[in-house]
Amino acid sequence: MRTGSLKNKTVVITGASTGLGATLARKCAQQGARLVILARNGKRLEAVARECEQLGGEVMTVVGDVAVAEDGKRLVEAAIERFGRIDYLVANAGVSQWTAFAEIEDVALFRTLMEVNYLGAVYCVHPALPHLKKSKGHFVAISSIQGQVGVPLHTGYSASKHALQGFCDALRMEVAESGVGVMTVLLHWLKETELRQRALGRDGKALGTASRRHRAEAVSLEEAAQAIVRGMQKRQQRLYVPRRLRLLAVVHALWPPLAERVVKGKVAREEG
């Protein structure tokens, strides 16, 4: 397994105005990476860019929506125009859901989840692929354990992350010979992000600040970003954060009813 520093590497990150994407950008900047960061909120994105510059990174911002294919192309073109290459593309932008399927009032919510979490990654990696081939770069898809194990109250979110996982597993085999790596990051719940308050409710709108707090174990942004950067440097294929999460995937493959009992218990504790 090859390892390497991110110094002078061009790292493109979507969804970098808050949460994990912003933390990842700061981590890469500390290593002297050249960053191209995208999100819809330009003001917050600029604030992250200033922080990254202070940490030693060279940064360019692109305001855009990953659910729009044209914005994926624009992101890649901007990165090439500014830095001439792409070494890592991190598809991190995401939106969640916290609603029982039966209570959903408009199934358009499912389209939003697929457009952001799955197609949002496809729309960026498709135009980036020729450049990743040139640099023998790496595509990093920020997924969730929900890409492997379904979770109640998250039907549409789990489905979108399963789609992303299947896409990445197939793509990895297609591009392996060209030297491009594909890593999926299967995360547990993260603390300190806005994912829960922005999660879509029964009416398809963000739940807002009154949404669930983390009661069970959850990973800090710092720990998650550190593990992801290490995984990028080692060019890993599948990264579980925390590592013990892999156990759930194994149990789910061997004995699904046990895994489902565990998952239902954890969701119920977060609800309670």
Ligand X SMILES: NC(=O)c1ccc[n+]([C@@H]2O[C@H](COP(=O)([O-])OP(=O)(O)OC[C@H]3O[C@@H](n4cnc5c(N)ncnc54)[C@H](OP(=O)(O)O)[C@@H]3O)[C@@H](O)[C@H]2O)c1
For the CB of residue 179, give the shortest distance to ligand X in the complex, in Å: 26
Of 63, 18, 22, 58, the C-alpha closest to 40 is: 63
What letter represents residue 238's amino acid?
Answer: R
Least Cβ distance, residue 17 to ligand X (angstroms): 4
One-letter amino acid at 49 equals: A
Instruction: Provide φ and ψ at 257, rounded to 5°.
Output: -60, -35
Q: Could you list the residues that contact ligand X (CB under 6 A)?
A: 14-21, 39-41, 44, 65-67, 92-96, 116, 142, 144, 187, 189-190, 193-195, 198
Half-sphere exposure of 264 (CA within 13 A, CB side): 6
Query: Is the Cβ of residue 129 or residue 219 nearer to ligand X in the bound state?
Result: 219
Residue 111 CB, nearest distance to ligand X (Å)? Answer: 12
The residue (of 257 and 272) whose beta carbon lies closer to ligand X is 272
Active site residues: 157
Task: Output the CA–CA distances (angstroms, integers) from residue 234 to 4, 76, 227, in the order listed.
Answer: 7, 24, 11
C-beta closer to ligand X: residue 135 or 242: 242
Instruction: Quote the least distance from Cβ 2 to ligand X, whole Å.
Output: 25
Which two tokens mark 52? 């990254």
Cα Rg, the chain, nearest whole Å? 18
Minimum CB distance to ligand X, residue 201 (Å): 15
b/e per residue 141-179 (b: at least 16 CB within 10 A): bbbbbbbbbbbebbbbbbbbbbbbbebbeebbeebeeee
